[in-house]
Amino acid sequence: MDTSIRRNTIRWNTETISIVIDFSDSAPARISEIALATRRAGLDDRTVVERLQPLVEVMVLGDGHALSNTRFSHTGVGARLRYREHSVSTAGDGRNRLSIVQFDEQTNLAVTSLFEAFDGVAAVQTSTTVTNEGENPQIVQMVSSFATGAFLARGEKMADVSLLRGRSEWCGESRWAWIELHGPDGLPEINTTLHDHDARGTLTTVSKSTWSSGEYLPTGVLENRETGRALAWQIEHNGAWRWEVDGRRDAENAVSLVVSGPTDIDHQWNTSIGAGGHFTSVPVSFAVSDAGYEGAIAGLTAQRRAMRRRSVPDAHMPVIFNDYMNALMGDPTTEKLLPLIDAAAAVGAEYFCVDAGWYDDGGNWWPSVGEWKPSTVRFPDGGLERVLSYIRQKGMQPGLWLEPEVVGVKSPMAGALPPEAFIQRFGERVVEHDRYLLDFRHPATIAHLDRVVDHLVIDEGARYFKLDYNVTPGSGTDLDALSAGEGLLDHNRAHLAWLDGIIARHPNVIFENCASGAMRMDYAMMSRLDLQSTSDQQDYRLYATIAAAAPASLVPEQAANWSYPQPNESDEAIAFNMVNGLAGRLYLSGFLDGMNEHQLALVSHGVDVHKDIRADVAASEPFWPLGLPGWYDDTVVLGLRSAENTYLAVWSRDDGQQSIELTLPSLAAAGESIEVSTLYPVTLGDWHPTWNAGSSLLTVTPASAGPSARLFRLAARA
């Protein structure tokens, strides 16, 4: 890694990525180029384009925009910042760091941009720290984590650029769609040259409150369809965020990207930075590629693997059985659980999680959460301890569902904890769907939840927690905060600190992330937790789209896709369910205890396949031969590519038997040596996979009409 400064230019080069930043006495620092290291030789002063988008945007009350609008690519502070110094360092964990300090004389704010890159990973994590070097406090309303205009090169056009953005909602997660920047939902060309004025509009994406992926995914991609150049980013925050794509007048068709955490205009977020005080923005990672959106997502996949915690018990991706989905649905009892435990063990599950309701004596598990003491009514003979012991006797590790961030309105803890331990507005507790929400800034909250987790691990023997989160507090809490958004951000960060604490104390426990499915699927959470529930969707046919799209947001080994085969289903429906799980992290449920031997064998075979390929899945890159799936697509395909094998999950959801053709250019070099095999299921109808080496084309034909799915493996013959 090297850094040089020449002609007011900083060139930061790692093993895999190069960033060029220019600055002057009359302009702020700006990213001029982001490129893969393979293009480094071409980045000289003749090819680097001068950009107008500042490296940092900061909105300060009493200062506002340099150009009046509601976007953040024209803030007053951002335009006035001037370079002060920069430094380079290398950390012991393999991270290379670049720090750039700028200063605004009008507000006396010093702004530090931190870039961090892992060795061998073509991605960068960045954040911004604002320090008040003056005597008067400054009210800050927005701080960018990442801002760049370095996407289009000379001669390239905005008309060739598309934005890939993902919608998300309960049971409808990961719905990706393309937006052409010059299309009807994009940015109009208003002839800024004639007006001698930048445009004021923006293509903005915002997520509110604490469901960081409850409306939109915190990941986006810009792709130039003509050149294949792509820039992908992800916001690594468990709360509110915003990113925007703007048109700038660097050239005829310039594009800017500004990414931030919460803002005043979107989230009621403001913070006061006093003399000598500072504020640091939420982290953002970005990756670049010359191989289109799939290449950029591959860069983010490598970044996610580099930054995530690796726990010992989850290292081999054990098979989890959870009693909830399309099974007990929050009504566990000893009588219902014991036969399910037998069946789960018989098909090869390695963990068994008792989901919601294990603490409830009143028959309604939803408003009674919060105390987390095992029910005596549901487990009358030997208590919950008997059930957990039985799980261990069957060779599995026991797990429990927790929703630690809430207290039900009927829970004893609603009156036992101090009022300040709850999120509140104007002195009144926030109530959402019969729940209060705990404020993790308060020590009583932390002490209570530490006692709960420690007891369940040490005394009850839990080795797995499904951490759920089913309600949100709106804009936040104004208790001991300048604004509700500030209180919420501090709560978000305190929640992460609590997670760090329980994980450190219990390294032999697996922690699952869930929020009504995938409503909080971000890498603030997933850099810490082991796996992510990708949805609450109960229709296995609809789940195919979610399972296929999830690896755009997660490493495949963290994408826990429900597989809930039922005894009243056809063999093809059972296989479809299992392929959903095999497309990432197999996560079992369903009334397996009601199945016959043939059905159990079909499920057991799927579990065996997962165990055979899970090491490959944990090292794979996702790709989509038919593009990222649409919600209503009849055919859905996900590819996972490892060093030696390519896996294809193929779902057919229509009533026909039309052949499916998949072009796989990455296998062209292997040619005739490619061998195609059906991994799952092997006992049902043959889809007759046929490989055409000349055109790198795989053709498969569903064996029967109606929904069905198969998992294929393609590999070079030994």
Q: Look at residue 526 in the predicted model and tell me its pLDDT.
A: 98
Q: What is the pLDDT of residues 522-565, one digit of tens each?
A: 999 999 999 999 999 999 999 999 999 999 999 999 999 999 99
Cα-trace Rg, the chain: 26
Tens digit of pLDDT for each residue in 66-80?
777 788 888 999 999
Sort 225 into a burial class: Cβ within 10 Å, 0-12 / 13-18 / 19+. middle
Cα gap 84→25, rounded to integer Å: 10
Predicted confidence at residue 253, as pLDDT, reads 61
pLDDT at 514: 98
Q: What pLDDT score does 522 carry?
A: 98
How confident is residue 41, by pLDDT bands cut at 50, 70 and 90? very low
Residue range 236-277, pLDDT digits in tens: 999 999 999 988 766 556 899 999 999 999 999 999 999 999
pLDDT at 46 over 50: no
| Residues near 472 by beta carbon (within 8 Å), at least 6 away in sequence | 209, 210, 211, 214, 432, 437
State the architecture of 623-716 in CATH terms: Sandwich (2.60)
Span 320-620: which CATH code? 3.20.20.70
Rounded CA separation 478/483 (Å): 5
Distance, in Å, from the CA atom of 373 to the CA atom of 355, rounded to the nearest integer, reads 14
Task: Report d(CA 428, CA 77) in Å as an integer.
Answer: 37
- What distance in Å separates the CA atoms of residue 583 and residue 569, rounded to the nearest whole number? 20
- Residues 374-425 pLDDT 10s: 999 999 999 999 999 999 999 999 999 999 999 999 999 999 999 999 999 9
Answer yes or no: is pLDDT of 130 > 60. Answer: yes
Pairing of strands 175-180, 161-167: antiparallel
Domain boundaries defined on the chain? 2-307, 320-620, 623-716
| Residue 225, C-beta contacts closer than 8 angstroms, at least 6 positions apart | 160, 161, 162
Instruction: Just give the CATH number of 2-307.
Output: 2.70.98.60
Tens of pLDDT, residues 156-167: 888 999 999 999
